[in-house]
Structures are given as structure tokens and as C-alpha cells.
Amino acid sequence: MSDLLKDVMKRSIDSEFYSPFPKGYRPGRTKYIVVFGTVISGIGKGIFAGSLGKLLRYKGFTISPIKFDGYLNQDAGTLNPYRHGEVFVLEDGTESDMDLGTYERFLDINLTKDNYITNGKLFQEILNKERRGDYLGRDVQVIPHVTGEIKLFLRKLAVKSKSDIVLFEVGGTVGDLESMFCIEAVRQLMYEEGKENVCAIAVTYIMEPGFLGEQKSKAAQLGIKSLLSSGIQPDIIACRAKNEVTEKIRQKISLYSNVELRDVLSIPDVGSIYFVPEMIRKTGVAESVMKKLKLGSRISKKEEESKWQKWSKFTGRIKNPKNRVVIGMFGKYTNLRDSYASILKALEHAGANLDTAVEIKWIETTDIEEGKLKVEEALKGIDGALIAPGFGKRGTEGKIASIKYIRQKNIPYLGVCYGMQMAIIEFARNVCGLKDANSTEIDSRTRHQVIDILPEQKKIEGLGGNMRLGAKEVLVKKGTMAYELYGRKKMIKERFRHRYEVNPEYIPLLAKKGMVFSGKHPEYDIMQIMELPGKRFFVGSQFHPEFTSKLLHPNPLYLGFVRAALGSGLSKL
């Protein structure tokens, strides 16, 4: 431990060195990797960070990722998918940024609220402490208090996770006003922990305007200059680009930023995010990070290579699949594919395990509802249909009309959350004869409220406060398709994000007409999986099976769905 850090840890809260340390914290025990973005957002910081984490995990290190988002929302739960993409639900019910999903999928771990921080969450904690008098009458300031709380958040994660490395992604781009004090906190972290314990990585973007026909580095240089002006010297620069970054551009970036040429990486676009780990492995970035952090590999080369061979087996199937299926994706956010990121990945996982390329046909259900698109035309050429999650009334009648056609034509079907509810409404109307059956979310006055908020949920008030969130146990009925898909397990655990449920009053009628509820709450009559026997595959889940799917461990419902689609052969007709 440096003399500086000893001094900082000894000082009282009244010191200008305000930098609280959690109980049991050992400086130097945990290393930190911090990933910044420059030029533009959405360039793949999370994918790069997750890929780097995978490289280090395959060298035997334990990794705990954490994401900082600059918005004042306490979490991502109330954010519109058009503005922010998918809301990813963590094991404990935290509604987070989609990058947390990337981390879980790459690192094959489950994350919690400790791995996600926003300005809203940060400021709420600071204001709560101020009201309790925890700052002992000090005037609470950005420096040292806000920066100190960010460092505390990172150090708490280090202690709680007992990780070798905390991998910290700073959301947005360098220069964003809302991220400036987070960047300052990282500078202080480097100052206090020592340079050998913190590795800074900048992910930048190399432009290639079509009208010029060549790559340009000026925007990247200016973005890196902004990071340098914040007092942070990057150790590694990852250059994102459409094509391979030229040697000349890398030389310019190296000279401009004081980063060795070997540590200026070319990260061009690839066909799947699952190709990125192997691509950056060839650059030697993991070894560079380990050298800067004075770390040695924890496992043998043979063991590391064995892990990569298993990973490469599946990525090879993504590159060169033997089969192909077309899945119709029915939703209302089809113009923004990030809204369905986890679903797309879950389909890719299932496809890789079945040596099958999964192609998506996007179908906007609002167009069907408004008569702009006929159902039979929308479903033409698909092997399977997936009704995606969602909220609100728009596009629901288009979904219900599509499900009727899917059921009657025996097309493999998977309904996720809202998709299960829509399937139940369709069945209630067209099989049970309840013509005006609906959800109270769509029509609060409907006579047959087959989907409703249960009484215990109605007691909870506030938007975002009455959601059923996180990992919950599901009791699976023996002898059903779900029971077989989940390996004949009686009890499973999946992640939920919803308010409305199947109304228990209608369960006997639905069951009488042939619907099987193959998964339910362990104690109450809350139905969580439905299926229609006699169909190729017709399953709905109230939970989100995509949130637990990994490339090497695909979710059973998605695996069964893609297998059924592969066997249908409908797109070949």
C-alpha cells in the first residue's frame, strides 16, 4: 500500500481527502479496469469490456463488471426502448442497462444492483446520507463527496464480490457533462490506488466517410484529448471502425496519445458480437492489461486453450451453420432492434447449439392492426413466430390476429410475457367463445378480464413500483412439454418483469378447452407457463427466458422453439 493511500485511509471525514473505505477493504487486493468512450455513444464499449472480461476470465481471474449511467433515473425501468434500448432485468430484480446483459452472457455470471449505478441512484444515496448527518455538517460538494461515493461504490463491490478485477464501464462519452465527476472519481482512484492497480482503456471511433473513401482519425484524436485533459492517460486505445483500422491511423493515434502502437487496437465490425473475444485475443490485449496491472495467469495454457476450443466450437457454428430457419418477430419496437437485444441473443444461442442460422423477419403488429399488412402476408416464409414483450394498447389487436393464424396453421410459436397474455386472450376469444375477452391493461371495462392485475399487486402504487421483478421460482407440471424442455426439473428459476397475470377465475374454462398451464407459482394460482398440446410448439411464458440464456447454456424454451422451427420446414415450402 502506498504512503498516500495509508494517509487517505487514516484521515477523518472532515479531511479534504474524503474517500470512505468499506470494512475489510485491502488496497491492491482488487485491480480495476476502467473503460471510457469517446467520439460517439453506442460504439460497443460494453461488448469490448465484456470480451476483455472473458479473456481474463479464461486466464483464471474472477471478474466483477459494473456500469455507470449518467442519467438521473434511479434505474432503467421507466426508460422508453426507443431512447435507451432494452431494459435488462438482473437476478435481484434491478432494471438495468442492456450492457449488463452483455456482461452476463460473456462472463456466464449473474449480476445484481451492486453492478449498476446511475446518477439518480448515486445522488439519492448522497442525499440520504446528508439528511442522516453522515457528513457531519460538511457542505456536501461534487469534490470530494460525490467523487468519494463513486469510489466507495467501486470498493464495496471489490469487497463484496472478492473479485480479482473490477471492470468499470463509464457510460456515454468523455466530455458529457453528466459523466465528468465520474471521470474525476476515476482519476482520484488512480491517484489513490496507484497506477499499477488501475488500467484505463479508451474506446474510440475511426470515421470513414463514404465520399472520401479513407479513414480519418481527427475526431478520435479530439476525443482522446478530452480524456487527457481530464487527467487520465489511457493505457490502451481500442479503435472501433467499419473496416480494419490502417497502420497509418494507428500510428497517428499512438503518437497523439502517448500509447504504444501495440496497445492501439483495431476493432472492426464483425458478423456477431460473439466473434469479438477471439478477435481481440489476437491483439494480445489481455496480456497487456495483465502486464500493466502486474498480474500473472492463474491457470495453465492448456486449460485456457481448452476453454477457448469449447467457445470456438459454438462461434464456428455461427459463422458456418449447416441449417437455416426464419423466425417472424412480432412487436411494436421493430424499428429499434436494441429493444429486443436479449431475445435476439437467445435465438442466436439456440441456433448455435443446433448448428442453425436464425434469420429474423421483422413484423410490425401496428401495421397488421391498421390494415396496412395482411396476416398471411406477414407470416409468409417463416418457420416460427415469436410475439415479443411490451406494454400498452398499440399493436395488440395485430398480435391477437396473428396468433389466431399461427395457432390455426400450426406454426411453432413462442410468446414471451406480453406474448403469453396475447395468446391467452386469443384463445379465450376464439376457442372459449368469450368474444370481448381482453386485458384490463388494454380495456379496463372489458366484461371478460382474462388478464388482470392481481389483488396483492393493486396494493402497490407508483410507476415502476408495482412490477414483479427478478428471479422467481416456477413449479413445473410433470408430463408437459415444459417439464421435458427443462430436463424434467420440478422447480426452475426464471426472471420476471410484468404487472398483469392470468385471472384465476378463467383458468378452469381455459383448461377445459385444452390449454395446459405447465408452470405456476409454487404457492398461489399464478400461472407462468402455458402450452397447447398437439401443436408443433405453442408455448407462452410470463417470465423472460431470454434473460438467463447464454451461448454455451441456451435457455430451454428458446432451444425447444428453434428446434421446432427447424423441424417445421415451413420456409422451404
Q: List pLDDT tens digits, range 107-143.
A: 999 999 999 999 999 999 999 999 999 888 888 999 9
**By the 8 A CB rule, do 491 and 475 touch?**
yes
Q: What is the mean pLDDT of the chain?
A: 91
What mean pLDDT is predicted for residues 305-328? 94
Minimum mean pLDDT among 161-170, 531-540, 560-569: which range?
Answer: 560-569
Q: List pLDDT tens digits, range 367-390.
A: 888 889 899 999 999 999 999 887
Q: Which residues contact 425 (CB under 8 A, 6 or more apart)?
A: 400, 437, 438, 439, 450, 451
Does pLDDT of 565 surpass 70? yes
| Topology annotation, domain 3-206+218-310 | Rossmann fold (3.40.50)
What mean pLDDT is predicted for residues 238-261? 96
Q: List pLDDT tens digits, range 344-354.
A: 999 999 999 99
Q: List pLDDT tens digits, range 416-439.
A: 999 999 999 999 999 999 999 999
Q: Which residues contact 35 (CB under 8 A, 6 or more apart)?
A: 45, 48, 49, 52, 167, 168, 169, 170, 201, 202, 203
Does pLDDT of 461 surpass 50? no
Check residue 4 and give its pLDDT: 60
Minimum mean pLDDT among 10-24, 328-342, 396-410, 526-540: which range?
Answer: 10-24
> Within 333-374, where are the H helices?
341-353, 365-369
Check residue 549 and give its pLDDT: 96
Q: How far apart are CA 93 and CA 471, in angstroms?
A: 7
Check residue 465 and give its pLDDT: 47
Does pLDDT of 518 surpass 50? yes
Does pLDDT of 9 surpass 80? no
Stated as kind and residue range, the H or E segment containing 421 is: helix 418-430
106 to 109, 275, 424: CA distances (angstroms):
8, 11, 35
Q: List pLDDT tens digits, range 280-300.
A: 999 999 999 999 999 998 999
**By the 8 A CB rule, do 287 and 317 touch?**
no
What mean pLDDT is predicted for residues 169-190? 94
Q: Where in the chain is the domain with CATH 3.40.50.880?
A: 321-572
Parallel/antiparallel/unpaired status of strands 95-96 and 63-69: unpaired
All three cell numbers of 435: 368474444
All three cell numbers of 17: 481527502
Check residue 69 and give its pLDDT: 94
% of the chain exceeding 90 in pLDDT: 77
What mean pLDDT is predicted for residues 10-33? 82
Does pLDDT of 40 surpass 80? yes
Q: What confidence category does residue 414 fall into, taking pLDDT thresholds of 50, 70 and 90?
A: very high
Q: Where in the chain is the domain with CATH 3.40.50.300?
A: 3-206+218-310
pTM: 0.91
Does pLDDT of 212 surpass 60? yes
CATH class of 321-572: alpha beta
Query: In 309-467, which ranges are E strands?
Result: 323-331, 356-364, 384-387, 413-416, 438-439, 449-452
Check residue 120 and give its pLDDT: 95
Sign of dihedral through CA atoms 347, 349, 355, 357? positive
Q: List pLDDT tens digits, range 43-54.
A: 999 999 999 999
324 to 313, 320, 327, 377, 530: CA distances (angstroms):
18, 11, 10, 21, 27
Check residue 339 and give its pLDDT: 81
Residues carrying an active site annotation: 417, 544, 546
Q: What confidence category does residue 194 fall into, taking pLDDT thresholds of 50, 70 and 90?
A: very high
Q: How many CB atoms lie within 10 A of CB 484?
A: 14
**By the 8 A CB rule, do 184 and 175 touch?**
no
Q: What confidence category does residue 213 fall into, taking pLDDT thresholds of 50, 70 and 90?
A: confident
Q: How far apart are CA 257 and CA 242, in angstroms?
A: 22
Check residue 464 and give its pLDDT: 43
Check residue 5 and give its pLDDT: 62
What mean pLDDT is predicted for residues 445-465? 68
Among residues 153, 222, 139, 155, the alpha carbon closest in space to that of 193 is found at 155
**By the 8 A CB rule, do 91 and 343 touch?**
no
